[in-house]
């Protein structure tokens, strides 16, 4: 499980990129110490030994969510 650290996020150029397979994803919203969070959990591929086990989790707080909204708006030219 992880949270994005906005102090250390940076854009990089990679020589090799691939499109990943889509997997089952769930999310939950919760509050802790007066702060609201959203957590995305992705699960293993169907052919994996334990496909219902969570593979990755990422948590966003309000500041990180706003950063990602701005970044996605800019990179995908959304309005």
pLDDT band at 47 (very low <50, low <70, confident <90, very high): confident
pLDDT of residue 40: 98
Q: Which residues contact 38 (CB under 8 A, 6 or more apart)?
A: 27, 28, 29, 59, 60, 65
pLDDT band at 6 (very low <50, low <70, confident <90, very high): very high
Q: DSSP code of 48?
A: S
pLDDT band at 36 (very low <50, low <70, confident <90, very high): very high
Q: What percentage of residues in the chain have a pLDDT greater than 70?
A: 99
Check: CB of residue 58 under 8 Å from CB of residue 42.
no
pTM of structure: 0.85
Check: CB of residue 66 under 8 Å from CB of residue 75.
no
Of 57, 61, 48, whose CA–CA distance to 26 is shortest?
57
Q: Tell whether the model's pLDDT for residue 51 goes beyond 90.
A: no
Q: Domain locations in the chain?
A: 23-79
- Mean pLDDT score of the chain, rounded to an integer? 93
């Amino acid at each position: 499980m992880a949270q994005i650290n906005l102090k250390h996020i940076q854009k990089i150029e990679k020589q090799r990129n691939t499109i990943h397979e889509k997997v089952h994803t769930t999310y939950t919203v919760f509050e802790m110490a007066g702060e609201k969070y959203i957590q995305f959990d992705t699960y293993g591929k169907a052919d994996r030994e334990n496909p219902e086990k969570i593979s990755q989790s990422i948590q966003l707080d309000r500041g990180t969510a706003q950063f990602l909204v701005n970044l996605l708006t800019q990179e995908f030219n959304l309005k």
